[in-house]
Amino acid sequence: MLKVNIDVAAGYVNGLLGTVTGFDVNDDYEHVIMVKFDDSFNHKFDPFPLPFAIKPYKFRTRVAHKRYFIRKQYPLIHSWAINVHKVQGITLKKAIISLRCSSLFVKELSMALCTKDDETLIEDYHRSEDVEFYPNLAKKLV
């Protein structure tokens, strides 16, 4: 997951999900991480067909009056799982949703985020009355 806004106009913004495809050295002899971003985060932009080169980013933190600490790192974090608050406002093509400790509102919201019913799986769900309420829910349960 991308952690900074690199190019807002092109859609490379904080929270964008993707897959690391490799490592390379760019023309400035900097080591870069190649990331193939998902096109599901923001539909107003074209899909991201090619891997994008992520360069190290300088983070600056003030530690005292006129004194700063600067660290240089890649603006990426692991995102095997994201919570319902992080996915508000995005649409996902595929999802595995765990409903172990969720309210009915969270269940409805989680299912509404997915564009394709056949690629959504729901784990840890055991309430039969909700299966009757949502006719398509039974086929998604794993």
Q: Where are the alpha helices (DSSP H) in 1-142?
A: 104-112, 128-133
How far is 134 from 77, CA to CA, in rounded Å?
35
Smallest Cα–Cα separation from 116: which of 139, 97, 95?
A: 95
- Tokens representing residue 74 in the block: 């890649």
How far is 78 from 64, CA to CA, in rounded Å?
31
Q: What is the mean pLDDT of the chain?
A: 73
**β 67-73/57-64 pair status:** antiparallel
Least trusted range by pLDDT, from 25-39, 85-99, 120-134: 120-134
Q: What is the mean pLDDT of residues 75-98?
A: 72
Inform me whether the pLDDT recorded for 97 exceeds 50: yes
Q: What's the pLDDT tens digit per position in 31-80? A: 999 998 876 444 455 566 688 899 999 999 999 888 999 999 999 998 87
